[in-house]
Amino acid sequence: MSDAFPSGPREAYDLLLAGNHRFAAGTPLHPNQDAARRADLTSVQRPFAVLLGCSDSRLAAEIIFDQGLGDLFVVRTAGHAAGPEVLGSIEYGVSVLDCPLVVVLGHDACGAVAATRAAVTDGRAAPGYLRDVIERVTPSVLAAHADGASEDEEFIATHVRHTVDFVLDRSRELADQVARGRTAVVGLTYRLADGSARPVVARGLELPAERPGTASRAEVG
């Protein structure tokens, strides 16, 4: 329930990135974090974005995007691995809460991606339920290998793209919302050192041209 709720996917994306720019620059506003905001949200919520991110402790969404209570509908799993519960949570965000934006957020030095790369390389099975996480990340790692990837950021970007494609392929509800222009799905990668979130891929939203010196080309569709 922001004071001015975004009118559509583009405005929601711009609002989210503006918050990240403040955070990265060291000038956060810390909006919507007071007692009045808490009271306003006791009976209703209206977040402007669904964010599927990694569970990594350094990736707290409301902090790195400089948002507050009720602004983001956050789903987090190791390596942003997506299964039925994740898909259901995303669908709740877009179909019940009317969020105009879905974000898949990856990051450098991701432990889940690193563990999957190691498992693919040495062929050893992971213990316990970690095996399920690795199985969901494996297609991304194999695709990155096939494309000749060697750097960490290439594997991370590939995994973000694959996750975006996965949620759209598996969720008819989400795909329909995108086709109707009611929401968009954007993949971002976050850099731990400087705190910046950079676009990798977008579905249903045209991203601005990439700034000079960035490493990867953002894809639109």
CB–CB of 103/201 below 8 Å? Answer: no
Instruction: Give the pLDDT score at 216.
Output: 44
Q: What CA–CA distance (Å, rounded) separates 34 from 40?
A: 10
Looking at CATH, the fold of the domain delimited by 9-220 is given as: Beta-carbonic Anhydrase; Chain A (3.40.1050)
Q: What CA–CA distance (Å, rounded) separates 7 from 12?
A: 7
Domain ranges of the chain: 9-220
Q: Helix, strand, or coil here: 77?
A: strand
Query: Which of 158, 143, 151 minimizes the C-alpha distance to 217?
Result: 158
State the average pLDDT for the chain. Answer: 93
pLDDT tens for 26-55 read: 999 999 999 999 999 999 999 999 999 999
Q: What CA–CA distance (Å, rounded) separates 153 from 106?
A: 10
| Residue 145 φ/ψ region, left for φ over 0, alpha for ψ in the -120 to 50 degree band, beta for the rest | alpha
pLDDT tens for 158-211 read: 999 999 999 999 999 999 999 999 999 999 999 999 999 999 999 999 876 544
pLDDT tens for 22-33 read: 999 999 999 999
CB–CB of 13/186 below 8 Å? Answer: yes
Instruction: Give the pLDDT score at 213.
Output: 39
Query: Which of 1, 202, 203 minimizes the C-alpha distance to 97?
Result: 1
Q: How far apart, in Å, do the first and last CA atoms of the chain sit?
A: 29
Q: Helix, strand, or coil here: 132?
A: helix
Name the token pair of 188. Answer: 């971002």
Query: Nearest-5° angle of CA 41, CA 59, CA 7?
Result: 45
β-pairing, 197-203 with 184-190? antiparallel
Computed on alpha carbons and rounded to an integer, the radius of gyration of the chain in Å comes to 17
pLDDT band at 60 (very low <50, low <70, confident <90, very high): very high
pLDDT tens for 144-163 read: 999 999 999 999 999 999 99
Instruction: Give the pLDDT score at 209.
Output: 52
Instruction: Give the pLDDT score at 189.
Output: 98
Residue 7 has pLDDT above 60, yes or no: yes
pLDDT band at 2 (very low <50, low <70, confident <90, very high): very low
> Half-sphere exposure of residue 120, counting CA atoms within 13 Å on the CB side?
20
